[in-house]
Amino acid sequence: MRPVVAKFGGTSLADAAQILKSRDIIRADERRKFVVVSAPGKRTDADQKITDLLYLCHEHARRRLPFEEVFKVVRERYLGIVQELGLKVDLREQLEEGRARIAEIGAAGGAPDYAASRGEAWNGPIVAELLGYPCVDAAEIIFFDEQGRLDAQRTYATCGERLGVLGHAVIPGFYGAMPNGAVKTFSRGGSDVTGAIVARAVLAETYENWTDVPGMLITDPRVVPGAYTIEVVTYQELRELAYSGAKVLHEEAVFPVREAGIPVNVRNTNDPRHDGTLVVPEGHPKAKVGFDITGIAGRKGFSVILIDKAMMNGEIGFARRVLSVLEQNGVSLEHMPTGIDTLSLVVEAKGLEGKAEKVLREIEIAVQADKVQLQGELALIAVVGRGISRHPRSAATVFRALLDAGIHVRMIDQGSSQLNIIVGVDGARFEDAVRAIYRVFVHDDERPAPVA
């Protein structure tokens, strides 16, 4: 029987009551052998995350300011959880050692990684004692190379061997160790990555990611209240949606499980009976049945650099010279729609701050353009779904929805994979556009009709 790896996020471990919910979930399935924990998150909207408080402690230490009052909140939070759960684990020594180390590293001008990682490191022993599992320090099984990149080969080998011998364990998320032993963290939300690494190392049957939402939603519920849950999404669809603005899983969490073909199940700790969202490989049986679209995601804050030049299409190296200007100015390209005599560069507006005129002038010189102009306030919306390639009407449906809503389409981009359709609209109409597309594919009184 292959194990299940269960990762619990900050809201799932925010206090004693939430931790008990997580314990009950773990005990409900004997396959849940390996548990990855985050630091305690917010208990209420007005609350503070432990990780944020620890970053603040480090910053105070770096500036040689006292941080005892901030750390006192952290200390009392952990000791309070232990007391409420009636556990015997004594964290006082670990907390004091951590406080001293944070002060030492901060005063020396070191990185905040050690401080930030303590939220998970101190939560691990609590959950481990509650379950009766051993707690394995992530720094002993997850490794980075000299450049701060995951040392995948060493990590999978060590992690798989160590956890395989134990049979079950709790692992703090978010961090590992550099070659010199120093603590190194992933980017924020990196406990998702730890869970994926552990799942890959033990060849898990499923990687469960327990959070405070019922899986992934078809679109942002702040834009479309009551948006439906996505039942099944492929790894590639997830990547497309995440790149376009959807945020449920840490982007880097997809790669370890994807290469091993391990499904990811995003579920709600507060509603464990809900199946949530299943993320599967492209060839998985459940990926063969889907809807016209899987999800709608988008972002505001883009600008378009429009380049006009007669006979542009006949110039060899034209695009290369344009892209070189962007590279030299540190501007990242999002999309590049083209015409016979026009080339459009879609970039993040913030990437042009303070240098827009310089970039436009250098492009004009580099390609001897007839005209180079900047158009702002663009929002990009990605309509993603494996059903799009099977149904040409999907694109027509998107454009008809926007037309009926009186929304002008400023840009269209569809890759050869036909997994998504990207449209650009005025930033001010972003929410209207998302709602229009959602309505045309999803009816209020029923789930989207399955694709044949």
CATH number where 63 lies: 3.40.1160.10
Percent of the chain clearing pLDDT 70 (strictly above): 96
18 and 36, same domain (yes or no): yes
By C-alpha distance, which of 120, 134, 181, 185 is closest to 162?
134
Domain boundary among 173, 202, 231: 202
Query: Are 386 and 234 contacting, i.e. CB atoms less than 8 angstroms apart?
Result: yes
- The mean per-residue pLDDT over the stretch 125-145 comes to 98
Predicted confidence at residue 443, as pLDDT, reads 64
238 and 365, same domain (yes or no): no
Identify the CATH number of the domain in which residue 318 sits: 3.30.2130.10
178 and 273, same domain (yes or no): no
Query: Are 7 and 208 contacting, i.e. CB atoms less than 8 angstroms apart?
Result: yes
335 half-sphere exposure, CB direction, 13 A CA radius: 23
262 pLDDT band (50/70/90 cuts)? very high
Q: What's the N-to-C CA distance of the chain in angstroms?
A: 34
182 and 210, same domain (yes or no): no
342 and 406, same domain (yes or no): yes
- Pairing label, strands 206-211, 264-268: parallel
193 pLDDT band (50/70/90 cuts)? very high
- The mean per-residue pLDDT over the stretch 274-289 comes to 82
Tokens standing for 81?
């959880």
Contacts of 1 (CB under 8 A, 6+ apart): 31, 205
- The mean per-residue pLDDT over the stretch 114-142 comes to 98
In a domain, 448, yes or no: no
Residue 9 has pLDDT above 60, yes or no: yes
Q: How far is Cα 90 from Cα 368, in angstroms, rounded to an integer? A: 71
Q: How far is Cα 215 from Cα 59, in angstroms, rounded to an integer? A: 35
Write the DSSP symbol of residue 423. Answer: E
219 and 312, same domain (yes or no): no
In a domain, 421, yes or no: yes
Residue 451 has pLDDT above 60, yes or no: no
In a domain, 405, yes or no: yes
In a domain, 185, yes or no: yes
In a domain, 452, yes or no: no
Domain boundary among 288, 306, 329: 288
Q: How far is Cα 259 from Cα 263, in angstroms, rounded to an integer? A: 11
75 and 141, same domain (yes or no): yes
In a domain, 273, yes or no: yes
Residue 413 has pLDDT above 90, yes or no: no
Residue 450 has pLDDT above 50, yes or no: no
126 and 190, same domain (yes or no): yes
- Residue-wise burial string across 103-133, b where 16 or more C-beta atoms lie within 10 A, e elsewhere: bebbeeebbbbbbbbbbbbbbbbbbbbbbeb
Domain boundary among 288, 316, 346: 288
237 and 352, same domain (yes or no): no
Q: How far is Cα 287 from Cα 289, in angstroms, rounded to an integer? A: 6
344 and 264, same domain (yes or no): no
Predicted confidence at residue 444, as pLDDT, reads 47
Distance of CA 382 to the CA centre of its chain: 17
Query: Are 406 and 433 contacting, i.e. CB atoms less than 8 angstroms apart?
Result: no
By C-alpha distance, which of 105, 188, 196 is closest to 142?
196
In a domain, 33, yes or no: yes
In the three-class reduction of DSSP (H, G, I as helix; E, B as strand; rest coil), residue 216 is classed as coil
In a domain, 447, yes or no: no
Q: How far is Cα 154 from Cα 145, in angstroms, rounded to an integer? A: 10
Predicted confidence at residue 309, as pLDDT, reads 94
241-255 pLDDT per residue, tens: 887 777 777 778 888
- The mean per-residue pLDDT over the stretch 159-182 comes to 98
By C-alpha distance, which of 122, 123, 114, 11 is closest to 55?
114
Q: How far is Cα 325 from Cα 262, in angstroms, rounded to an integer? A: 41
Element of type H or E holding 22: helix 16-27
Residue range(s) defining the domain that contains residue 224: 206-288
260 and 330, same domain (yes or no): no
Distance of CA 91 to the CA centre of its chain: 31
Amino acid at 229: T
Q: How far is Cα 151 from Cα 143, in angstroms, rounded to an integer? A: 5
Predicted confidence at residue 351, as pLDDT, reads 93
Q: For CA atoms 105, 120, 81, 14, give the dihedral sign.
A: positive
How many domains would you assign to the chain?
3
315 and 261, same domain (yes or no): no
- The mean per-residue pLDDT over the stretch 344-361 comes to 95
Residue 445 has pLDDT above 90, yes or no: no
Predicted confidence at residue 91, as pLDDT, reads 97
Predicted confidence at residue 367, as pLDDT, reads 92
